[in-house]
Amino acid sequence: MTSTESLIDRRQLAYIASQAADARLNVELETEGMTLNIGPQHPATHGTLRIIAHLDGEQVVWAEPSCGYMHRGYEKLTEVRTYPQVTSLVNRIDWLGSFANEVPFILAAEKLMGIEAPPRAQWIRTILFELSRIANVSLFLGDLGVQLGAVTPVFMAFRDREHVLNLIEATTGGRFHPNFDRIGGLKDDLPAGFIDETRAVMKTLRNFCTEMEDLLFGNEIFQSRTRGIGVIPKDIAMQYGLSGANLRASGVDWDLRRDQSLPMAWDKVDWKVWTHPDGDSFARCWIRLQEVRESTLIVDQLLNNIPSGPVMAKVPRIIKVPEGEAWVSTENPLGEMGYYVVSKGDLGPFRTKIRSASFNNISIVPWILKGVYVPDIITILASLYFILGDIDR
Amino acid sequence: MNALLAADLPYWVQSLLRVLGGLVAVLLPAGTIVYLFLFKMMSFMQSRLGPMEAGPYGSMQLFAEVGKWLQKEDITPARADRTIFKIAPLVVLASTFLLVAVVPFGPDAWFTNFEAGVFYMLAVSSVSVLGILIAGWSSANKYSLLGGLRAAGQLIAYELPMVLAVIGVIIQAGTMNLQGIVVAQNGGEIFGWNGLGNPYILTQFTGFIIFMIAVQAELTQTPFDMPIAESELVSGYMTEYSGFRFLTFFIAEFATAGVFSLIASVLFLGGWGVPFAWFDWKSIDDISDWMNVVGPLIMFTKMMVLAFIIMWVRFSYPRFREDQLQRFAWKVLIPISLVNIMITAILKVAF
């Protein structure tokens, strides 16, 4: 711990010294900084995030994220919807891994009602959850290339992600917004041929990961652009409430899939939580790559022993959730996503608080962007990996 | 062409003819075919089909795009420096036109036969920096300004390795005339064996690699595309351009890739020639007239190969950061090319 503290101290001292030097220079030469608005419409912001960056030449003096350009008010909207209707809203929070958004909400409602989905439903939920993680993060791997100037990886990502989306579509009927999870289970069982096809697709995805390692991660330019850029020490990462791969890349061994007991199937299979000691951009990207591969292995193992039985527990036709409060969070593709549901015994929630991963993940932006160059802003933002829907909700 | 130029025409008419000849005979076909070939090739690299709708297999795609751009409104930002803003793309394109004027395509098929052809080539290729810089400055856009400044820094840094890489060739050929360099390569021999002539890619391999890297930077192609950098600067100095002026930048990009490939093939791959030993030619005067027809085709093949390499690198690499690029130019490329010059000079004297 002391080594990281002294690192931060040195970093801050160096920063203060450079600021003082700049101030002297400014007095002598009367140079003035430039404020650059990166966004709201900029290809690197995955939507409409705005980064206000004050530049000195190409170096960032300070930067601040400004969000809310895409606020859709889902927390408020849940108050005027019934419980089954809410899933179609929260689908749209992290639109690349939609199914994973539904699960924590449904789990919270089930917790309040005191019911549990049958084992087969839990298994299928976990499979779909991991499929949406793969769909989400594989696109990140492709997009990472584009952010750093390599155009080819994104096409490979879209090519192989398509297979995963086809699987999700075959099961749920929706490619992006499945709306498949129900209180007490799932809407439907798996379609015929799903298991064989999924096995083949998981193999394709593992090949895709290897391909990305060869094409992008092994590339020297890529490494020189990401290694040592945007280092987040362990304690800083925890102070800012980072979660998901961003936290694990800083060396914190923390994964909600493993660290809490939920009525899901993760504890039934054998898998590994990857961490990286460096905490730089490369570590964050590398962790995500490993997680895609790990997810394919999880899905493979889950396919081996899906229990038989119904996919829906016995629930009343009109769902009324008893009075109470519940908090459930899961390890979503972007990090920890949780729902705090307050029920007054009505058809819909009285109040819902949505804790989305990206909102906390980008809170570190002002700290991490201090003193970096403009190209590194893009690297760091890409490696922090946020989705605008997940920030603004 | 030569007979025409030998006729008694005023100097300015001759110059105009040379430049227009370059445009019609070289740049338009080269631009079109390079564009199509590369777009199809890039598509296959990225597991997609590429343009398919315009013409058979999308072969008319360039015309479709030119038509599209010509229809678009020519917008000048309100706070832009209007005159300079409008001139900038033309300056960039002019540099390409001037470059092609010295490239020889056959024993008699050339537009000009400069004694200091290499010198001229290196000089006019840097005119495009000027165009890019003023485009970035006059756009009144912060992204464009950053892009323009990056371009200026980068192009100046890479001018030097390019010059130094070419010096090795000049030492070996003993002439700065591009025609002379072609003859020296095809009439040359490697340790007494003249079956291949002496293409300088073999003896000046270091120089060739440095030259191609510098060309990549000069063309602002990935890994050196920081001035454009779609994901950071949203196309940098081109951000504010639309319609015809953007088209000019766009065509200049591909045409310059083609022209630099031509120049690299002249300097390192033996240009239009075939090894003279194959036909028992002794000097440039012995060469048959049919080489004036075959020569351009040979040149064209070599150009496509080199353009393929340029684009291959472009579509597989991520981009450097500006300071890494400068470090690479000054600490790696320039020392290596200086050593290369020294070794070439020593060997030239020794043999």
The pLDDT of B160-172, averaged and rounded, is 87
- A31 pLDDT band (50/70/90 cuts)? low
pLDDT of residue A148 exceeding 60: yes
- In this predicted model, what pLDDT tens digit does every residue of A290-309 receive, in sequence order? 999 999 999 999 988 888 88
Answer whether residue A275 is part of any domain: yes
To the nearest whole angstrom, how far is the Cα of A128 from the nearest Cα of chain B?
A: 27
> What number is the ipTM of this complex?
0.75
When CB atoms are compared, the residue of A34, A216, A373 closest to B321 is A373
Q: Look at B321 and A225 and tell me if their CB atoms are within 8 Å.
A: yes
| Mean pLDDT of the residues in chain A | 85
Answer whether residue A58 is part of any domain: no
The pLDDT of A369-373, averaged and rounded, is 85
To the nearest whole angstrom, how far is the Cα of B294 from the nearest Cα of chain A?
A: 36
pTM for this prediction:
0.80
- The number of distinct structural domains making up chain A is 1
Nearest CA in chain A to B328: A221
- Residues in A closer than 8 angstroms to B142, CB to CB, are 34, 36
Does B47 lie at the interface with A, CB-CB under 8 angstroms? Answer: yes
**Dihedral angle over CA of A153, A155, A156, A158, nearest 10:** 120
- In this predicted model, what pLDDT tens digit does every residue of A227-253 receive, in sequence order? 888 888 888 888 888 888 888 988 888
Q: Residue A284's domain is classified under what CATH number?
A: 1.10.645.10
Residue A1 has a pLDDT of 45
**Domain of A88, in residue numbers:** 74-358
Name every residue in A having a CB less than 8 A away from some CB of B.
34, 36, 42-44, 58, 145-152, 155-156, 159, 215-216, 219, 221-222, 224-225, 373-378
Residue B269 has a pLDDT of 85
Answer whether residue A292 is part of any domain: yes
Residue A7 has a pLDDT of 61
When CB atoms are compared, the residue of A43, A145, A373 closest to B234 is A43
Q: What is the 3-state secondary structure (H, E, C) of chain B?
A: CHHHHHCCCCHHHHHHHHHHHHHHHHHHHHHHHHHHHHHHHHHHHCCCCCCCCCCHHHCCHHHHHHHHHHHCCCCCCCCCCHHHHHHHHHHHHHHHHHHHCCCCCCCCCCCCCCCCHHHHHHHHHCHHHHHHHHHHHHCCCHHHHHHHHHHHHHHHHHHHHHHHHHHHHHHHHCCCCHHHHHHHHHCCCECCECCCCCCHHHHCHHHHHHHHHHHHHHCCCCCCCCCCCHHHHCCHHHCCCCHHHHHHHHHHHHHHHHHHHHHHHHHHCCCCCCCHHHHCCCCHHHCCCCHHHHHHHHHHHHHHHHHHHHHHHHHHCCCCCHHHHHHHHHHHHHHHHHHHHHHHHHHHHHC
Closest CA to A149 of A99, A222, A91: A222
Answer whether residue A224 is part of any domain: yes
